[in-house]
């Protein structure tokens, strides 16, 4: 266990139950440490640095992973935090609820947000749902979405369309320009528009949306602006202070590298009361004496949306994933993922019949490349890459795209990207 982490573990434990500091507790087995410290970044030898980063991910060597957009792997540090915290909380039979407040500080720093504006949810879908169910709408009020929205972003609104008669309107993301996306949204706005929601980075083809500009458009039309950031947080740095939206939801278990079933929701403090909590319980409100009830008052801040017993080990491990990324450098991670995606793109472009769907403009793309070929249906390309070459990509069936999505993240290597390109060439040559 390196010094920084020990210090962190200690600081997370003190003031609460002394948890996580297993070595300091009598009768407790010392916790094994499976992580190595990160090497110092050396401009002259970046690959050596990334090899050490990779070594911190206990991923099976039997296949090569290019699907962080679906689910990201957690590093040893994160898994250690999760297992140590889980076991110690179980041993003491405590919920560790106090750790939520401590983890929230780290998470808020990661998002450049006020601590009170962030709450822990179970996945991006749940964060999207809190907003989509909580905002007051009348029948015939309109919500604008991108047509590439993931079901975790679109279904909550489609459900309100079904149950309450709101109107969901969609625009197809423009892969060519940020201005094109603004125009497409503007063309859908009417006097009934109440909400605009976009995927910060679209799931099927990885298009980056001009969120700051869309935010200004939404503000001009007094519409709530929600960003589904499941594909952005952890791939690129995200900053709630400058993003220009009213609310932002993300997964913890994709690009951030947190444990499964983690997510975050941020809501602008000044607009918090516009989202009605639809599920409440202990911690959503100040204590109420049912024999002498006063008004039911929500807790200060976004944690009014958290209720009941939760898994403190997950939020501690999510915070650890963020510390891990901060230590590596979030701009560095974004640049690495992007460079690897560029490498994949450049290789795929040399293969006859391959069409790249992800824009090449660096302002519009990050660490995702989606491609297709008329020579072979996407499902078959996916199958062959997995079965014959042990390469895990993601088939893209959405909106008839018939494509394959490749996600490149901090643990991928240049050699893996070359191998992927070679395998696609081979699969298509045999088709």
Ligand X SMILES: Cc1ncc(COP(=O)(O)O)c(C=O)c1O
Q: Under the rule (CB under 6 A), what is the footprint of ligand X?
A: 70, 123-125, 150, 152-153, 199, 203, 228, 230-231, 251, 263
Rounded Cα gap, residues 61 and 160, in angstroms: 44
Q: Kindly tell me which of 50 and 378 has the beta carbon lying closer to ligand X.
A: 378
Residue 265 to residues 74, 120, 216, 328, 403, Cα–Cα distance (Å) = 20, 6, 21, 24, 30
Q: Kindly tell me which of 153 and 277 has the beta carbon lying closer to ligand X.
A: 153
Shortest separation between residue 425's beta carbon and ligand X, angstroms = 28
Shortest separation between residue 229's beta carbon and ligand X, angstroms = 8
Shortest separation between residue 430's beta carbon and ligand X, angstroms = 30
Rounded Cα gap, residues 200 and 204, in angstroms: 12
Q: Kindly tell me which of 172 and 418 has the beta carbon lying closer to ligand X.
A: 172
Rounded Cα gap, residues 362 and 339, in angstroms: 10
Shortest separation between residue 84's beta carbon and ligand X, angstroms = 24
Exposed (0-12), middle (13-18) or buried (19+): which is 354, by Cβ within 10 Å?
buried
Q: Kindly tell me which of 24 and 397 has the beta carbon lying closer to ligand X.
A: 397
Angle of CA points 74, 80, 83, to nearest 5°: 105
Shortest separation between residue 38's beta carbon and ligand X, angstroms = 27
Q: Kindly tell me which of 13 and 229 has the beta carbon lying closer to ligand X.
A: 229
Shortest separation between residue 266's beta carbon and ligand X, angstroms = 15
Q: Kindly tell me which of 89 and 149 has the beta carbon lying closer to ligand X.
A: 149
Shortest separation between residue 243's beta carbon and ligand X, angstroms = 15
Shortest separation between residue 8's beta carbon and ligand X, angstroms = 25
Shortest separation between residue 124's beta carbon and ligand X, angstroms = 4
Q: Kindly tell me which of 6 and 278 has the beta carbon lying closer to ligand X.
A: 278
Output phi, psi for 149, to 5 deg. Answer: -55, 140
Q: Kindly tell me which of 129 and 178 has the beta carbon lying closer to ligand X.
A: 129
Q: Kindly tell me which of 102 and 370 has the beta carbon lying closer to ligand X.
A: 370
């Amino acid at each position: 266990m390196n010094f920084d982490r020990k210090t962190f573990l200690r600081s997370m434990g003190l003031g609460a139950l002394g948890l996580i500091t297993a070595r300091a507790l009598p009768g407790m087995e010392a916790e094994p440490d499976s992580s190595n410290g990160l090497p110092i970044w050396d401009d002259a030898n970046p690959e050596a640095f990334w090899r050490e980063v990779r070594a911190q991910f206990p991923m099976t060597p039997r296949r090569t992973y290019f699907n962080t957009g679906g689910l990201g792997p957690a590093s040893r540090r994160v898994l250690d935090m999760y297992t140590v915290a889980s076991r110690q909380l179980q041993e003491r039979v405590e919920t560790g609820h106090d750790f939520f407040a401590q983890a929230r500080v780290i998470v808020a720093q990661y998002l450049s947000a006020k601590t009170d504006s962030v709450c822990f949810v179970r996945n991006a879908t749940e964060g999207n749902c809190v907003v989509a169910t909580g905002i007051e709408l009348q029948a015939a009020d309109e919500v604008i979405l991108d047509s590439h929205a993931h079901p975790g972003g679109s279904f909550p609104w489609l459900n309100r369309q079904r149950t309450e008669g709101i109107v969901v309107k969609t625009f197809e993301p423009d892969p060519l320009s940020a201005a094109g996306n603004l125009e497409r949204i503007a063309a859908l706005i009417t006097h009934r528009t109440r909400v605009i929601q976009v995927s910060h980075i679209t799931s099927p083809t990885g298009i980056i949306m001009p969120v700051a500009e869309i935010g200004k458009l939404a503000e001009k039309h007094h519409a709530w602006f929600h960003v589904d950031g499941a594909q952005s947080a952890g791939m690129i740095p995200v900053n709630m202070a400058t993003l220009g939206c009213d609310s932002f939801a993300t997964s913890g278990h994709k690009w951030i590298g947190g444990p499964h079933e983690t997510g975050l929701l941020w809501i602008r403090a000044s607009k918090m009361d516009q989202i009605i909590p639809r599920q409440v319980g202990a911690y959503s409100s100040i204590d109420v004496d049912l024999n002498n009830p006063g008004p039911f008052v929500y807790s200060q801040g976004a944690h009014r949306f958290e209720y009941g017993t939760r898994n403190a080990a997950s939020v501690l491990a999510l915070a650890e994933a963020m510390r891990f990324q901060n230590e590596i450098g979030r701009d560095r991670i974004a640049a690495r993922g992007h460079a690897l995606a560029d490498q994949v793109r450049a290789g795929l472009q040399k293969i006859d019949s391959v069409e790249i769907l992800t824009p090449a403009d660096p302002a519009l793309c990050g660490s995702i490349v989606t491609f297709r070929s008329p020579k072979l249906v996407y499902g078959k390309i996916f199958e062959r890459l997995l079965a014959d070459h042990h390469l895990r990509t993601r088939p893209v069936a959405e909106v008839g795209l018939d494509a394959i999505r490749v996600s490149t993240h901090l643990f991928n290597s240049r050699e893996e990207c070359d191998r992927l390109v070679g395998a696609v060439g081979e699969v298509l040559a045999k088709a």
